[in-house]
Structure 1
């Protein structure tokens, strides 16, 4: 059925030229920008249009809409992430011209073979390259918060000498990978920043991009960090039309380097379009809650299929997060919503797990290749995981498999590995998927899984893979077996669920994290009618709900939350 676009949506779709359009949650911005990508207003020459997004929603929508017109997804157009755009159109051409070879881009270091290492004299789990950040010259800085949660206390307690030795080892490994052209997204952005400060490279890139693209559409612009802003400013200066769409109140990635102040300066460089304030996702009571949580005067209007829904907000008071699951299930059942269509959201993963009665977080202490394979296979077979998590688990399997090859290939570009192994990317992925489909490793001893993996590699004829690297854990016992939970509810972190929605959403509202000030908590900012990221996080969480929103409020925050709801006349029921 064709979409009936509103007048503000049609303006976003059809008015040519650069602009910024603010869109409330559920405003139909994804459908609108995809329609703009299809219609190409003002694009009359042979140049293309690029659609860039931080989430998969717009990318998937564009690909689905273009099934009957696949040429729209081919050159000179581009649909993908900002990282993919940077890699392909800014870093690859300059890097290749400088080094005489194309770089091999990786999303993150955990998907690259042999990017963990031991440091002599430090008896612990191996360090991982993913736990460090790097400067342009390769200097490494250990960031404990990037490690698995059970290892952070140990990493924070390292002495300066041991920390320095770990950072030196990480820097050597990073530089070796970089010299071989193996680059992660962070390194690619460092290179882009370097190239965009060199007059010669700027001239070349401006020529290449301005002849390739007439317009670039940027979705979720509020999530831009400094390097994203640098890219978009470069595009504007290259006389390429830039259309930016987003909701500044959904800027919740300060901890990743997002720059709300920089985004405000950026959008001031282009004309401003009419705000999309029709919420086609949520019911009126949920819109009322979202309006209360937003800092500012903007108001969303329930306009979609749930515009007549009057189900009030449910408020649950808990002193322990483990109480939440058994309180949530009867509420969604009474509302006629299946538990499977309900998601529990929280700032911290541990809180979301507890509220949904999920099993405990699996440990990642072991560096055994067989254990890592088992963990990835179990993740792939867990249908409760997101598509992204399951895809990353397959990439993790590929990384372990590559570690079974000759050590000289561990840090080489993909094309070098495939040439030696006699494979291509598709054949290698097919083999990894076959391994991911082996019986659940944890139903038997590690030796049984070891035999199955060896048998599969032999059947595939992958003689390059040395199975001697697949050693069994001590006593042929798995060091960590994922424990299933007793719950039937989905759970996600708020940051991980951004861009998605569900019929029923339960939001855990708890005290501020230990390392933050109580005055900066989301509830404190909400009560004081002040802006801040913690309040925006709650706003994003509540705005994911379609029919029913449940606030699971810790007893320490209960009175303040009730005061906010009463002040802003949000319809609610205490349950």
Structure 2
């Protein structure tokens, strides 16, 4: 929706003026961000109530988008207090952890977001596991997760479990917490009726309403916290699209969310159904990309592209791997509609598959420090042109520390930052300077770039290996350092674009996953992993405004067409 005059639909107006609690199901493109902005305007127009509002979501990108809208419309004051805009994680940290500390620890709590990636090795030659492979409360091995790494010790996991328990205990005594620890601590605090009652009263005194956006990304503990906030007397607005739940790796839920909705009175269960983003053909397609039980009526196109006539294309490819011909054909189709390359990304469940589809296959770096540094440098320069700068800068910093030997692995980064007192950000100017200095020069070979990197990072090394031993030449460097053409299509992982929108989108289905996804879309398969893979396709397709293409293996293209055609708009198969 645009920033111009806002003429809310009847459903939007109901939500803007709805007092008390609400559970809101919003289809893609329903204008929920603008509706939340107008809800904030409505509430803050009542100067008699001086309490603030809290807007929570689950990704930094979603939070930044909402905060930008609120400020652009002049709704939030500066300073922000007593209101709050941030991720659900930050809300828990600021109001439940930072003021009180953690039971069993006398140290000031410090946030270590990558704690789950700490390496667990009982001895040097041992198979490397990570802390996420162990139960955080007991230190017991999570066998199903560990098995994915090929872990199969002859004498059992006891040595690894002992190491994990020691790491967990030491981290707690030092006050080093990640958000799994935070939720555990919050749960214990809320179970204490005395402390939870006082905390609930304090939060009720500060906030008149809390909006939880993208609530399909809540895990079970999150929902318990939301219910506690509601019981504390704070008005709660839960806004979600259950079909966009693609964070199973952090415990995201769907069935529990639907049951949670039933706790709201019928009058408080609201809908947002009009799609202001996408064309009629795309609206029909994304409706069909939901499982049959949750499909319902096709969302109506009501925005600026409601008269767009472009069909949905199925790009049918041969072979067992994702070919570059996908990107070439999609670029031709989008170019014929006058859509610029930067507004026509190719999306896939993994960045590697998306890169293959546009002819930019980049090898996995593994533990190769030269490749890690090169990837971080290229990501740094791409980010400063296209966003996500904070994450790219941290990734470059981490690679530099690994090259210098100050950390042994990526999982040690946050702990090093805490122990070195670098979490205040004073490292950033030096890392920006290194990133700028290592920009690939016109016509520069991988060997010449590596020589410059060695010269720049060769001092202040920790340990005995020389800079030449750390930054070895790898024949894959040329591919990593290749500068994408200004006319090249962006290649992105689906998780990276959630909440964004583009004029055109191409979604890539791989040979390995397409069968399971189609089974979900026909109702034949409802296992957790295939369902989440199907939801990723739904999320990716719903980013499109004017043009949608879905690349699928030749053998699966007719079945996909049959599913999409049932939405009332015929898809067009293009053989590659």
TM-score by length of 2: 0.83
Decide whether the 8 Å contact of 1:344 with 1:492 is kept in 2.
Answer: yes
1:14 aligns with 2:17: yes
CA shift in 2, pair 1:560/1:372, >3 Å: closer
1:184 pairs, out of 169, 178, 182, with 178
2:521 corresponds in structure 1 to: 526
CA shift in 2, pair 1:411/1:84, >3 Å: closer
User: Which sits farther off after the overlay, 218-227 or 431-440?
Assistant: 431-440
2:77 corresponds in structure 1 to: 71
Q: Secondary structure, in 3 states, of the residue corresponding to 1:49? A: strand
Shift of residue 104 of structure 1? 1.5
Shift of residue 275 of structure 1? 1.5
Shift of residue 553 of structure 1? 1.7
Shift of residue 433 of structure 1? 2.4
User: Which sits farther off after the overlay, 496-505 or 21-30?
Assistant: 496-505
1:79-118 correspondence to structure 2 within 5 Å: 79-95=85-101, 99-109=105-115, 115-116=118-119
2:39 corresponds in structure 1 to: 36
Q: What stretches of structure 2 of length at least 5 have no aligned partner?
A: 441-445
Decide whether the 8 Å contact of 2:30 with 2:276 is kept in 1.
Answer: yes
Aligned residues: 541
Q: Distance in 2 between matches of 1:415 and 1:525?
A: 45
1:389-468 correspondence to structure 2 within 5 Å: 390-399=389-398, 417-418=420-421, 425-440=424-439, 444=448, 446=450, 448-453=452-457
1:569 aligns with 2:568: yes
1:259 corresponds in structure 2 to: 253
Decide whether the 8 Å contact of 2:314 with 2:557 is kept in 1.
Answer: no
2:443 corresponds in structure 1 to: none
CA shift in 2, pair 1:523/1:96, >3 Å: closer
2:556 corresponds in structure 1 to: 557
Q: Distance in 2 between matches of 1:523 and 1:39?
A: 44
Q: Distance in 1 between matches of 2:377 and 2:140?
A: 34
Decide whether the 8 Å contact of 1:216 with 1:241 is kept in 2.
Answer: yes
Decide whether the 8 Å contact of 1:22 with 1:246 is kept in 2.
Answer: yes
User: Which sits farther off after the overlay, 6-15 or 80-89?
Assistant: 6-15
TM-score by length of 1: 0.83
Q: Distance in 2 between matches of 1:425 and 1:309?
A: 49
Q: Distance in 1 between matches of 2:426 and 2:326?
A: 46
Shift of residue 54 of structure 1? 1.6
Q: Distance in 1 between matches of 2:342 and 2:281?
A: 22
1:357 corresponds in structure 2 to: 359
2:27 pairs, out of 10, 24, 29, with 24
CA shift in 2, pair 1:197/1:136, >3 Å: farther
Per-residue CA distance 1:145-173 (angstroms, 9 max, x = gap): 8xxxxxx97x3144254755345434433
2:498 corresponds in structure 1 to: 498
Q: Secondary structure, in 3 states, of the residue corresponding to 1:94? A: coil
Decide whether the 8 Å contact of 2:98 with 2:109 is kept in 1.
Answer: yes
1:337-376 correspondence to structure 2 within 5 Å: 337-366=339-368, 372-376=372-376
Per-residue CA distance 1:320-375 (angstroms, 9 max, x = gap): 32131222221112222122221112234433222122222431223x5x875554
Per-residue CA distance 1:174-220 (angstroms, 9 max, x = gap): 43233222212222222222322233432342233222222110101
CA shift in 2, pair 1:69/1:31, >3 Å: closer
CA shift in 2, pair 1:179/1:244, >3 Å: same
1:241 corresponds in structure 2 to: 235
